[in-house]
Amino acid sequence: MRTDIQSLTDHPSSWGQLLMVGIPGPRVDAVARELVRDLKVGGVILFARNIESPEQVWELTRDLQREAQAATGRPLLLAVDQEGGRVQRLKTPFTIIPAARELGITRTPEEVEQLARQVANELALVGLNVNLAPVLDVPRSPACPQWDRAYSSEAQIAANYAVAAIRGYLSGGVLPVAKHFPGLGDTVVDSHEILPLAQSGDPERAVDLLPFRQAIAAGVPMVMTAHLAVPEWEARPATLSPVALQVWLRQRLGFDGVIITDDLEMGGITSSLSAPQGAQEALAAGADLLLICNNWQAAWETARLLALDASLAPRGREAAARLNALRQTLRPESAELPAVRQYFAR
């Protein structure tokens, strides 16, 4: 059964295209095959458990794309968190990236652009087409959990570096993701554990939104939401908030690309909702791509829940159309294996 923007039905596989999921291991096993072939997910995210070597990652992405082409005729979004510092899944012999905080001190934006292009070239070489980076947060102090992951505590400097990184990733053939909207810089708790509250008190969030405004102007194709409550907007986390996603990100900032959620299994969501319930609310609020990183059964439960909610059909079609357009921009083939071996044997 072909499922696309013309055929969102009450069958779960019709809604799988709105999901990006994690898979269990470094090969296409029965679970991964089921997610790609049967659920027809739109994307897969890789973690350390999926990575052994450049050759193995190349084989994994090749096999995932073959499964996707057989199932839907469209390529997958294949993503990884390759920010730098403590958040980089691909280790040596891939380029090791200093933390953004260090880059903001020791490198120029031009040097960061060049580094991002090199990183993107390596990701593309092994078949990855999305980097969940850069971080656009503007941390106010070291108490912020994003301190070392952010380029600067000065909004304009952070924006300069983020835009440079975005240019580098795009020129290297990989889709960058600006995160975490609307900015985690004025928080002091980790959204992996609980829901943070924005502390600035500024309803305009001028400091936090400046890097996003400039990233959008620079053509960033994807923005990731934050599990963050902005009391001046509304009580719900931004990931689940029409005010954050539709009023601010779409209307006021003019973003027309793909909105991807942060992992819906994080404590900032699951402290009050299950991941499938969070996905349902996120889609209704304006998100396009729903991220579930670990529990593949939750991915199926999410698709079933979305398929049962008739009120989501217009939003689902809108999200599917946006994702389909993005997937059509992807390179159809990665490099040949000898080229991968030659590059990483340097």
Q: List, by residue number, the catalytic residues.
A: 192, 262
Element (H, E) at 12: helix 12-15
Q: Where are the alpha helices (DSSP H) in 35-108?
A: 54-72, 100-106
Tokens of 311: 């009120």
Geometric angle at alpha carbon 4, from 35 and 285, rounded to 5°: 80
Indicate the SS3 state at residue 317: helix
According to DSSP, the β-strands at 258-260 and 43-46 are: unpaired
The rounded distance, in Å, linking the Cα atoms of 24 and 291 is 15
Q: What is the dihedral of CA 315, 316, 322, 325, to 10 degrees?
A: -150
The rounded distance, in Å, linking the Cα atoms of 34 and 13 is 11
Query: Can you tell me which residue has the tokens 């280790």?
Result: 91
| Residue 180 preceded by cis peptide, ω within 30 | yes
The rounded distance, in Å, linking the Cα atoms of 285 and 281 is 6
